[in-house]
């Protein structure tokens, strides 16, 4: 009897924590990418739906994430290599304050566009619970792959082959 009571409390706590922190699952491979509108670090409005029809790499990060820093070079490289030839959109989604994300982008030399998710609305929409978290979206707006953690240029290239 006591164990059922404890189990009920534990389940309630976990469920409440999930609701509060937004750990609801987001779209998964095979599902349509969720539309959103956020401001870029330059203050311009960005709506994902306006860019459907082109392949998209959507990469979530924070300014305080040490594991996110090594992704900058491969993402910069892919952005430079494919933005014109394959119309690839590499988009960073910075989770945090505008000031922190803007400083991070400038100090780290990020060349691809970055939007700011200061209220975690989009990261919750996508079910992001760990970072870096990257989604690969094809021209039809479908999520083809997602990855949690670091990817090398070669790792990105293999996933890009699925969204061309």
* Domains of the chain, CATH where assigned: 26-160 (3.40.30.10)
Q: Give per-residue pLDDT as tens, 75-93.
A: 999 999 999 999 999 999 9
* pTM for the full predicted model: 0.85
Q: What is the pLDDT of residues 96-138, one digit of tens each?
A: 999 999 999 999 999 999 999 999 999 999 999 999 999 999 9
| C-alpha distances out from residue 101 to 49, 93, 117, 129, 135, Å | 23, 9, 9, 18, 20
User: Which pLDDT does position 27 carry in this prediction?
Assistant: 87
Contact predicate 49/118, CB 8 Å: no
Identify any residues that bridge with 57 across adjacent strands, giving them in sequence order: 90, 136
Give 12-66 pLDDT, tens digit per residue: 333 333 433 345 578 889 999 999 999 999 999 999 999 999 999 999 999 999 9
Higher-confidence residue of 9 and 145: namely: 145
Band (pLDDT 50/70/90 cuts) for residue 9 is very low
Query: Tell me, what's the pLDDT at 23?
Result: 54
What are the start-end ranges of the E strands in the chain? 37-40, 45-47, 56-61, 89-95, 114-117, 133-137, 143-148
C-alpha span between 35 and 50 (Å, rounded): 9
């Amino acid at each position: 009897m006591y164990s059922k009571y404890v189990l009920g409390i534990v389940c309630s706590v976990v469920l409440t924590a999930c609701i509060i922190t937004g750990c609801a699952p987001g779209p998964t491979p095979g599902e349509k990418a969720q539309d959103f509108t956020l401001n870029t670090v330059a203050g311009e409005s960005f709506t994902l739906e306006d860019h459907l029809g082109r392949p998209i790499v959507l990469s979530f990060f924070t300014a305080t994430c040490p594991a996110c820093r090594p992704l900058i070079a491969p993402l910069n490289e892919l952005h430079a290599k494919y933005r014109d030839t394959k119309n690839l959109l590499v988009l960073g989604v910075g989770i945090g304050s505008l000031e922190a994300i803007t400083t991070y982008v400038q100090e780290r030399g990020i060349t691809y566009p970055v939007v700011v998710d200061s209220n975690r609305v989009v990261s919750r929409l996508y079910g992001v619970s760990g970072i870096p978290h990257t989604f690969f979206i094809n021209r039809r707006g479908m999520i083809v792959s997602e990855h949690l953690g670091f990817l090398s240029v070669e790792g990105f290239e293999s996933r890009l082959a699925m969204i061309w």
